[in-house]
Structure 1
Amino acid sequence: MAMIAPNRPRQIVPDQQERKWIMTDYKRLLCRLGAVVVGFSSLMFSSVLVIAQEAVPLQPVREASISLPTFQEGEELSLDRVVAIAIQRQPDILAAQGSIAVGQSRVGQARSGFAPQVDGTVGLSRFSPDGSYANPSRSDASYGRYTAGVTVNQMLYDFGKTATRVAIQESSVNSFRADLASVEDHVIFNAKVAFFDLLTLMRKMSVAVETVTQFEKHRVQAQGFFDAGVKPKYDVTKAEVDLSNAKLNLIRAENGVRLGRVALSAAMGFSETPNYRVKDSLNFEQFPVVLEDAMVQAYDHRPDLKALLLRKKTAEQAVLLARKGDSPYLSGSVGASYGGDKFPLDEGWDVGVSLLVPVFNGNRTKHEVGEAEANLAVLAAKETGLRHQIYKEIQQGYLILHEASERIIASQLTVQQAEENYAIASGRYEAGVGNPVEVADADVLLSNARTAHVEALYEYKIAQAAIERAIGVTTVPAVM
């Protein structure tokens, strides 16, 4: 190792000439320092380049659309279009994408441990012996001392600690990607629920409108019979009360549709939307599902389970990293320095290898290992709990789907019977042999039967969506 030579005798140099020398020698100094940095960095970095290249390359985050999707005034929206819009507009999706970007930056930070660490210094000190300021003509007047240097440090071997840190961050990024898929499943499910909610409310409003129409027709008949002296005033009063109750139900149904539109707009990621229509797809289409197969698919495809397993893998790597806390650290360094009170400055350089061996750190490593193992145990318990939750969700969805399927078939028959019953009751009343109670009861039964059929269709669709989410096979349609 070469040392900086002793300072030359101080000489007073005129300021203008000294500045010229300073600028010239500083340029030479920077060129030399740059050559040292480039040469040593290339040499040292090549020793760990293979390790760094083994790391998984970063994948770009799917950027959110700059122009978010929307729709035209009065446009009819299908279920696929609603889901596709929700996927691209919901802020939860954007937040999950941001988490991936954060994780990728952390991977880059961890990989920086493989690269050389370069530090540069430059300084100027002014020394003034006693009395020099009072008498500048003295030979021991104040003088300046200039220093500059650069140091390059390179990790040579740390027993895999840096590589483990990189692996931990890469596993975290993968868990964030699984989180994004889980958030997408949640957004899709909410959009489907809101879509079928609105369709159900619109169907119920149609039932309410038809009920009002039927009671209005009955009121007109009762009034005509009363005016003709065939029926008593009671029939008219009863018909008017039934009509008023039907109108109250219609008011509630109309407001329910308005609330359903608000909920669907929010599920798509809108605060305010133009008027739109929804394509009625509330029909019965058999959804084949085998309980045992659904369980296997869920354990293979469920994104939140994947995310938890990746976090468990990260915790296992964290245990390995903690156990390496007492491992030695081998590093190399090279540096160049310049100093003196007169230009050109004296030169010096150093190069060396150091081995840091931890001896005692107050049992910190032991407790770090204990913390990492405890975190791993927590995640293992959460995995067991999530598997139980998945099993329960699929069983519940399967049972609800089966029940709704049977209710759809039964309610179809009930609607047919209720329509026949209403036709008989209204026909009897028109013929003058029936009474208003029969007509009102038949109308209520028909309204309830139609409502029950709509609700059975709705529950079947929601159960199907719940099973798809529980299995983890939800697909993202393209915006049309």
Structure 2
Amino acid sequence: MTLRISSPGRSGAWLRLPMKRLRPMIYTAILAIAFAPQQAAQADTLADALVGAYNHSGLLDQNRALLRAADEDVAATVAGLRPIINWSTDITRSFSRTPTVPGPGNTNSAATNANAGITAELLLYDFGRTPLQISVAKETVLATRQTLIGIEQQVLLRAVRAYMNVQRNTRFVALRQSNVRVISQSLRAARDRFEVGEVTRTDVAQAEARLSSAESGLAAAQGDLLQAIEEYIAAVGHKPGRLTQPPSLPKITRSVDSAKTVAVRYHPDVLKVQHDVAAAELSILVADAAMKPRVTLNGSLGVREELGGSSFSRQGSFGIQAAGPIYQGGGLSAARRRAMAIRDAQRGLLHITSHAVRQNVGNAYAILRAAQAVATSSNDEVRAAQVAFNGVREEAKLGARTTLDVLNAEQELLNAKANQISAQADVYIAAYSVLSSMGQLTAKDLNLAVQTYDPSAYYNLVKTAPVPSSKQGKQLDRVLRSLGKQ
């Protein structure tokens, strides 16, 4: 495929550019547009990217809302210990027709009555069932908080990967562009030497083939960079500016065993399952209490009036009621056995999660050490490849090396530099992955300049189940409005 472009030099003449030569130019234009808004902006650091990800993440917003829902479950259960007051009202039209005895005819009567009443119920004692349900809800809240911390780690690690991949692919593009320039110079030199008979047409063809390959590699690198930019925007919330190299690796413990101990003790995945186990054990006690009676205080107050008549009455009652199950077809026993099975399942999950966390720590350290070793080796490889390329190029000028030798040496240098760039990015990603595996990749642990989300703030407002008219309820309304939920 070719593109015909009108030549400004000659009227009516056309230049024919192969699409494979035009494609890198198109990618370069797209990249220029993508980076244009940030060219005049301040350079972005890795900390800036992490702050942007923390503030931008919809996934964090989603799980914060789920945590607030879990907080409300505590409030809803607490409400069961308070008086339950309901009102009711109705208007009833009643009529009757009674045959007259003796004699023909009927006696008709009709009345319209209005009724209004209030009923109240207060739980006095249920063998601890409701307090146990409150404890279950609280354990669920604590487990949900750990889930939120785990999500926070995922969001921040994604930002690290996005940042380093944009930086990696940006350097790849610059490397490929340099490669195209060097091979273009080699091609011009080969053509000049061909004109004077120093090399054959084969040398020129080899240089041309290598240039086409270099341009293809540049186009692929530019495409990868565009994809990395899109991932950065999704993870951080804005286009990348000029990304700076992170100053140093995060501090991590050198001992793998120490890291595993820390992870098993503090990793959010482990802590979440621990709270799930506690909730499951309490649920067994709730099922036991469900088999026992409930004692409640009940009261009612009502009025009855005949509309259009003279009948009017008031009535009321109060008393203590005890009620409990006698036989429910085995449903209560099944509920208890189910609670025990869930408890056993959660215990098994805790065992699995603890081992998985240990394994993830070991894997993360292995990947980090391998990446560091590759980075060290790639530095040595680049130095050696650079010396070799310079030597081959000088020898070619003296006729001791062919054009293909120069192209091969240049390709080896290109590969070495690409490996070096990739290894440097992998080291940073691996280091932050170690922190994530230990449960220490949070905004608080990284000391990010953000207003961190306090998971206990909303809970403290709703844990006593405040009514809207109370002081605490009005404060809760303001919080919800600030969150944009009302």
Q: Same fold (TM over 0.5)?
A: yes
| 2:278 paired residue number | 313
- Name the CA shift for 1:283/1:154 in 2 (closer, same or farther; >3 Å): closer
| 2:259 paired residue number | 294
| 1:325 paired residue number | 290
| 2:155 paired residue number | 187
CA distance in 1 between counterparts of 2:428 and 2:230 reads: 20
DSSP 3-state at the match of 2:91 = strand
Instruction: Find out whether 1:352 has 2:323 as its counterpart.
Output: no
* TM-score normalised per structure 1: 0.78
State how 1:27-176 maps to structure 2 within 5 Å: 73-74=38-39, 75=41, 76-130=43-97, 142-176=110-144
Instruction: Find out whether 1:241 has 2:209 as its counterpart.
Output: yes
CA distance in 2 between counterparts of 1:232 and 1:245 reads: 21
CA distance in 1 between counterparts of 2:354 and 2:413 reads: 44
CA distance in 2 between counterparts of 1:246 and 1:324 reads: 75
Instruction: Find out whether 1:471 has 2:442 as its counterpart.
Output: no
Q: Which of 447, 455, 460 matches 2:422?
A: 455
User: How much has 1:340 moved relative to structure 2?
Assistant: 4.8
- Name the CA shift for 1:330/1:275 in 2 (closer, same or farther; >3 Å): closer
- Name the CA shift for 1:159/1:131 in 2 (closer, same or farther; >3 Å): closer
Listed as ranges, the gaps of 5+ residues in structure 1 are 1-70, 133-137
Asked if the contact 1:200/1:282 (under 8 Å) is kept, the reply is no
CA distance in 1 between counterparts of 2:75 and 2:37 reads: 43
Instruction: Find out whether 1:254 has 2:222 as its counterpart.
Output: yes
Per-residue CA deviation, residues 15-38 of structure 1 (Å, 9 max, x unaligned), is xxxxxxxxxxxxxxxxxxxxxxxx
DSSP 3-state at the match of 1:336 = strand
CA distance in 2 between counterparts of 1:283 and 1:179 reads: 29
| 1:281 paired residue number | 246
User: How much has 1:356 moved relative to structure 2?
Assistant: 1.3
- Name the CA shift for 1:429/1:169 in 2 (closer, same or farther; >3 Å): same
DSSP 3-state at the match of 1:440 = helix
| 1:391 paired residue number | 358
- Name the CA shift for 1:282/1:412 in 2 (closer, same or farther; >3 Å): farther
Asked if the contact 2:139/2:275 (under 8 Å) is kept, the reply is yes
CA distance in 2 between counterparts of 1:203 and 1:230 reads: 36
- Name the CA shift for 1:170/1:72 in 2 (closer, same or farther; >3 Å): farther
CA distance in 1 between counterparts of 2:302 and 2:383 reads: 98
Asked if the contact 2:116/2:303 (under 8 Å) is kept, the reply is yes
- Name the CA shift for 1:378/1:248 in 2 (closer, same or farther; >3 Å): same
- Name the CA shift for 1:171/1:238 in 2 (closer, same or farther; >3 Å): same
Asked if the contact 2:233/2:240 (under 8 Å) is kept, the reply is no
Q: Which of 171, 180, 200 matches 1:232?
A: 200
- Name the CA shift for 1:104/1:148 in 2 (closer, same or farther; >3 Å): same
DSSP 3-state at the match of 2:419 = helix
CA distance in 2 between counterparts of 1:285 and 1:458 reads: 14
CA distance in 2 between counterparts of 1:148 and 1:287 reads: 70
| 1:211 paired residue number | 179
| 1:379 paired residue number | 346
| 2:484 paired residue number | none
1:478 partner amino acid: A
User: How much has 1:287 moved relative to structure 2?
Assistant: 5.5
2:349 partner amino acid: K
CA distance in 2 between counterparts of 1:449 and 1:267 reads: 30
Count of aligned pairs: 402
CA distance in 2 between counterparts of 1:275 and 1:462 reads: 18
DSSP 3-state at the match of 1:146 = strand
CA distance in 1 between counterparts of 2:356 and 2:115 reads: 67
| 2:21 paired residue number | none
- Percent identity between matched residues is 18
- Name the CA shift for 1:458/1:140 in 2 (closer, same or farther; >3 Å): same
- Name the CA shift for 1:367/1:418 in 2 (closer, same or farther; >3 Å): same
CA distance in 1 between counterparts of 2:403 and 2:253 reads: 46
Q: Which of 383, 403, 412 matches 1:416?
A: 383
DSSP 3-state at the match of 1:130 = strand
User: How much has 1:434 moved relative to structure 2?
Assistant: 2.1
CA distance in 2 between counterparts of 1:170 and 1:285 reads: 35
User: How much has 1:337 moved relative to structure 2?
Assistant: 2.7
Listed as ranges, the gaps of 5+ residues in structure 2 are 1-35, 100-105, 452-486
